[in-house]
Amino acid sequence: MQRLSNEFAFSNQLRQRLARHGLFWLAWILFFAFTYGFLPFGALLQKGISWNVAIFQGFSIAFIDAVLFMPAHMFLTYLILYWLVPRFLLKNRYGFRA
């Protein structure tokens, strides 16, 4: 089991890397859907909707929002990680001149 998880976490093979990225973004969607699913839940309860329907609708709305915002978050995340960090932080160019 440890060899399998070690291979998954540290492998540079394309298949393993894509699986890691997919797992990360799946966890990201679930986190945001769960976190923001309670916001519409309270408003729906105040309108008199039963709690089980309100939970389903609240989490459905949050899941759709997470999926819709995902491309923008992915673009900004990969821009920062693969372009800004190597270009500026790893070369000690922070933007100020002494």
Residue 58 falls inside a structural domain: yes
List, for residues 63-95, the tens digit of each pLDDT value: 999 999 999 999 999 999 999 888 877 777 666
List, for residues 34-51, the tens digit of each pLDDT value: 988 888 777 888 888 888
Residue 41 falls inside a structural domain: yes
Residue 93 falls inside a structural domain: no
* More confident position, 97 or 60: 60
Structure tokens at 69: 């915002």
Residue 26 falls inside a structural domain: yes
Report how far residue 19's alpha carbon sits from residue 28's, in angstroms, rounded to the nearest whole number.
14
Residue 75 falls inside a structural domain: no
Q: What is the pLDDT of residue 25?
A: 96
Write 26-35 long-range contacts (CB < 8 A, 24+).
Answer: 28/66, 28/70, 28/73, 29/63, 29/66, 29/67, 29/70, 32/62, 32/65, 32/66, 32/69, 33/59, 33/62, 33/63, 33/66, 34/59, 34/62, 35/62
Cα-Cα-Cα-Cα torsion 20, 7, 16, 30, nearest 10 degrees, comes to -20
Residue 52 falls inside a structural domain: yes
- What is the tally of structural domains in the chain? 1
Domain that holds residue 61: 2-69
Name the band, by pLDDT with cuts 50, 70 and 90, for residue 22.
Answer: very high
Q: What is the pLDDT of residue 3?
A: 67
Could you tell me the pTM of the whole model?
0.74
Q: What mean pLDDT comes out for the span 6-29?
A: 90
